[in-house]
Structures are given as structure tokens and as C-alpha cells.
Amino acid sequence: MSATDTTNTHGRTRLSFATVADIDEFVSTLERYERGELSADQWRAFRLVRGTYGQRQSYDASMLRVKVPQGVLDKAQLYALAAAGEKYSRTFGHITTRQNIQLHFIKLHDIEHAMRDLAASGLTTREACGNSVRNITGCPYAGVSATEVFDVTPYAEGLTRFFLRHPLAAILPRKFKIAFEGCAEDHIALPINDLGFKAALGPDGTRGFRITAGGGTAIMCTNAGKLHDFIPASEILRVGESVLKVFRQFGDFQHKQRNRMKFMIKSIGWDRFVAEYQRELAAAREANVPTLDIDPPAEETKPERSRPAPPAPPLIGARVAAAPPSGPGVTPVVVPVYQTTDEMYIRWRGTNVHPQKQFGYSIVTATVPLGDLTSEQMRVIGDLAEAYGDGSVRVTMEQDLVFRWVRVGEVHELYQRLAAAGLGLAEAATVADVTSCPGAESCRLAVTQSRGLGRLLEEHLRARPDLVAAADGARIKISGCPNGCGQHHVATIGFQGSVRKVGTRAVPQYFVLIGGGTTADGASFGRLAAKIPARRIPQAVERLINLYAIEKSANESAPTFFARVDLKRVQRELLDLQNFTEADAVPLDFVDLAETGEYTPEVMEGECSA
């Protein structure tokens, strides 16, 4: 049923999530399709569940999405991803907002080889796309956060293994997203998931979860509703299977634009949904659906292992400089920094380093612009994780990487080596740390080059530290279409790709949304403030930050301000940027960011709901 015969796995040594049988089946099914035994629709439905997504290019180009359960990657896996990127992709990979790694522009007949290379390190692409239970995400600070109730990672992994290759996992009306959080803060966007598990303790101290259901963004932003105030952790497999059965029975298989679980709940009503779920949960208990019987420690234990010597900064710089990224689209700009100053280190430490709850250790974030890592940077990250951390890193929802168990006295050494790898940027979790989906570079549904805008904004903001300092707590997220893969609906300032006609020509533009976010209490969704041509967006961001700086209340954060500010006030502030005529236009207005030719929007049939 599941990935292994047991879900009772926790600790630093993880069992593989991959099987050779999956890859053999992929190869044989591709052969059947090429012999004409399967239709294009049948082949597409199959390959999506195996993590292979068609790109918008007319030539042979696919995206391979690699699941990274709970965002945990060890050195061997980083090295495997690096090799796959070099052999089959663009020599770099892309971190997603759901803790996956994507490799783009892979030829279809290279997919098998990439899968086999990745499987050797325990990584799988199974159910990474398609109408399936997607990668189960987890708080990247689980086990080391001072505010957590308990470490949720073992429970998230148990549910991952239970659902991986489960009979229900890939026959759903639509994709299904699950997240786990244990902290007082929300680091993983629980309220926009189909199922959210928030760590809680029962009256007797029993570990369990507050469970929410039915969240989502895109064309109908929905805050998840409360399914349980508390249920013992041992019951989460039964909870998950019962919800899936209700979704499978009452979900809409016919209409691609309204077949997420939130639409089903709206259709039958919350009370009916809960009643059907409770019926299935009772049946699961009667049928002895497994319980998750594990008893891990409340927090991670100190890593006890010998640590290799770290590579020296000059060697790291030489390694990454000798292997620059290549290929189509927006590629990472790698600038090794060999000589760091005290001022640079202090600035970086202020935004990228936080105390771990275990005395003497720090949590260190490596800022990854646009979520792009070159193959050699991945190898360096693996080497540094072994030398300075616990041998692994965790992927964040903000497309960055987190090192844990870094000794306080070694943080500066780690910084010098990250800087040499071109990964020493400060401003993690600030307005300059922009999140973006892949956009029209590769996605069939995207209208605009969201990555082009992401790069423009990061460069603009990093050149203006005064703006970054003024935008207390603000986050920017960008999507190239309404689907929200960049999570723009829950950003302080969100941008959604769009198009407008000016005369007979098309201009790339963005909907500007303000005031979105998620907390432990739920989600707030961005309000539409303007529709602004792409090349004017940096001006819009400046005005929004200045508006906050001038009109905020004492000690009011940017997320709080933009959630409550009068929308008409913001609209007036942006009105002249929104107004746009042929007389205002310059030639570059008709060229999308990161492109060279005139903008011609092309929205293709997407595969998200195939």
C-alpha cells in the first residue's frame, strides 16, 4: 500500500522513498504510448503522476518535479540532484513553494535516466504532479524551534509513507495538498492546504493535532475550516484516508476549474462534509486502518557523528565559478565573494541567523534568489551541511535553504563559505527575498515572465537597503497566472501576471494585491489594488513601502498595515502607474521582462488538472 511496509520511521536516517518498479513502469508505459497503444490523454495522466510535466515549448522539453518530503535533503540527495541537473537539465534546479525541486528542459527520453539517478539516493517523483496526494510539506524549523509544541517531522513522514503509492493517492478528482506545523508561527501556510495538521497536546499531555480542511487559493481563495480541535497523533493515517474517501466520492471529476476539495465542500456544505468524514472515520476504525504508533522525542537530539573538514572558501569559489549555469530562460547569477567584511557579516547575521532552542546552536538560512541553485552550489551545500550542520538541509516555503545544528562559534566560518559559493546574500525573509513561480519561461498556463519580474525586484530592492529596512515584515510573492504557485494571494504584496491591450499591441502587466498572509489563526487573502504594466512594478513597490512608512501606527508591521489599510487609499497612490496609453508607452513596455522580442501572450492548455 505505502512506500515501505512500515510507517514507523523517524530520525536522521531515512528509508528510501523510491522504487525501481516505478521507473520500469514509466519506461514500459512510454513504450506503449509510442506504439500507439495509449492515447495522448492516457499518457499525460500517467506521466503527471510520475512527476513529468509538459512545458510550453514546442520542442522536446519536460519538467521533472522531485518530491522532497518535509523539505529534508541530505548530501547524497543534493549530489544526485546536481548530477541530474548537469546531465539532463540546465545545470541548475529550482526550489518550489511546496518544498520540491524541479528540473526543467529535460528531454522525454532522459526522464528515465534522471529518475534512476535520483532513486539511488532515495528520491522519487511519484505523485509529485497530477491528481494525487502531492508532496507533504513540513515546517523547516521542526525539532529546533523554541516555539514548537513538538517535532512534527516524524508524523509528517509517517503520513507521507502511508499515502505514497496508496490505492487512493492518484485517483482523485484533483491534486491534494497536506502540510504540518508545530510552531506558534505559521511557516508552511497551513490554512491554504486541503489538510493542515497543527501540533497540539491533549489534557493529559498526549500528542495530537488540530486539523483543518478545505483551504486553497487560485480562482476561489478559501480559508481552511476546523475539522478537529484535537485528535491523537496515532489517528492521522485514518484521518487522511477518510478525507480522501469523501473527496473521491463527492468530488467533481468533470470540471477541471472547480474540482479541488474546497469546491466540493462548497457544493455539499461544510456540515455535510463533516458528517460524511465522520462516517468514513468510524468505518476506518472498524476496518482497522493502521494507526501511527510511534513515540519520537519531543525535539531532535544532538547529532553525534564525526564531521569532515569543510572545503576552504577559495576552493568553493573556484568550484562554482568553473561550472556556470547554462540553458534557456532566466539562469542564476553566481558571484563568488572571497573577501567578506565585518559589516557584510553583521548584516547577514541579522537576517539569516536565529538561535536554536538547543543551547549553543544556530539556525542558518542560505538565501537562494528565485529558488535557483546551480549543480555545483548543490554539492557545496551538501558538503557544508556535513561539515557544519547535522548532514542535511531543509527547503523552505520561501525557496531558501535552512542549516540546523550549526555551532554558534562556527556561524562566521559557514557564512564565509556560503559567500564564496555565491549564496551569502542577507535579507532572508524580508521584502528583498522574493518568491516566484517558474512563469511563462516554462509553464503552459502562465501569462507573464514572473521570474523576470522577481529578478528585477530583487536587484532593485537590494540596491536600496533603505527600502528593505523600511518594509518591516513585508513579503513579495509573484505568480505568472491566477493559479498561485508563487502563493501571491497570501503575500503582503502579491503580483499576478496578466495582459492588457494598448491599441493593437499587448503589454505584460500584473494585478497588485495587498494584505495577504497566513498565521496560526488562518489566512487573509490579498485585495486587488491596481493593474500595472510590468516595467512599472518597482515604482509601485517603492510607493507601497513609502506609504507604509508614513502612515503606519506605532510598532505596526507591514503585514498588519496592508491588511487593514483602506483599499481606496492604496488605489489612489498607484492610480497614475495604472493609467497607461499609447502616448505613455516606450518600446520596452511591449517586451516582457527577461525576454527580447515583442510580448505575445500565449496561454496553452495546462496540465495542472489533467
HEC sequence for 573-599: HHHHHHCCCCCCCCHHHHCCCCCCCCC
The CATH number of 313-320+337-420 is 3.90.480.20
The CATH number of 18-125 is 3.90.480.10
In tens, the pLDDT along 562-605 reads 999 999 999 999 999 999 999 999 999 999 999 999 999 887 87
In tens, the pLDDT along 508-555 reads 999 999 999 999 889 999 999 999 999 999 999 999 999 999 999 999
Q: Which three cell numbers stand for residue 140?
A: 523547516
pLDDT bucket at 235, cuts 50 / 70 / 90: very high
Helices 450-462 and 537-551, packing angle to 10 deg? 50
Q: How large is the average pLDDT for residues 471-478?
A: 97
Adjacent-strand bridge partners of 514: 493, 527
Q: In one letter, which amino acid is 3?
A: A
In tens, the pLDDT along 324-348 reads 998 899 999 999 999 999 999 999 9
In tens, the pLDDT along 118-141 reads 999 999 999 999 999 999 999 999
- For residues 145 and 2, the model is more confident at 145
Is it the case that residue 244 has pLDDT exceeding 90?
A: yes
Residue 269 burial (CB count, 10 A): 10
Is it the case that residue 474 has pLDDT exceeding 90?
A: yes
pLDDT bucket at 2, cuts 50 / 70 / 90: very low
pLDDT bucket at 5, cuts 50 / 70 / 90: very low
Q: Is 428 exposed, middle or buried (0-12, 13-18, 19+ CB in 10 A)?
A: buried
CA distances from 570 to 551, 563, 578, 579 (A): 11, 11, 12, 15
Identify whether the C-beta of residue 89 lies closer than 8 Å to the C-beta of residue 106: yes
The CATH number of 435-590 is 3.30.413.10
Q: Which helix (H) or strand (E) holds 499?
A: strand 493-502
In tens, the pLDDT along 38-57 reads 999 999 999 999 999 999 99
In 3D space, the residue among 389, 329, 339, 397 whose CA is nearest the CA of residue 368 turns out to be 397
- For residues 327 and 276, the model is more confident at 276
Identify whether the C-beta of residue 131 lies closer than 8 Å to the C-beta of residue 175: yes
Confirm whether 131-295 and 435-590 share one CATH topology.
yes
Instruction: Write down the domain spans for the chain.
Output: 18-125, 131-295, 313-320+337-420, 435-590
Q: Which three cell numbers stand for residue 320?
A: 562554482
Is it the case that residue 84 has pLDDT exceeding 50?
A: yes
DSSP 142: T
The CATH number of 131-295 is 3.30.413.10
Helices 236-250 and 261-268, packing angle to 10 deg? 70
Give the pLDDT score at 26.
98
pLDDT bucket at 9, cuts 50 / 70 / 90: low
Q: In one letter, which amino acid is 553?
A: S
Alpha-carbon gap, residue 524 to 514, rounded angstroms: 10
Is it the case that residue 440 has pLDDT exceeding 60?
A: yes
Q: Which three cell numbers stand for residue 235?
A: 489517528
- For residues 591 and 258, the model is more confident at 591
In tens, the pLDDT along 172-185 reads 999 999 999 999 99
Q: Which helix (H) or strand (E) holds 163?
A: helix 153-163
Instruction: Give a three-class secondary structure readout of 465-480.
Output: HHHHHHCCCCCEEEEC
Q: How large is the average pLDDT for residues 85-106?
A: 98
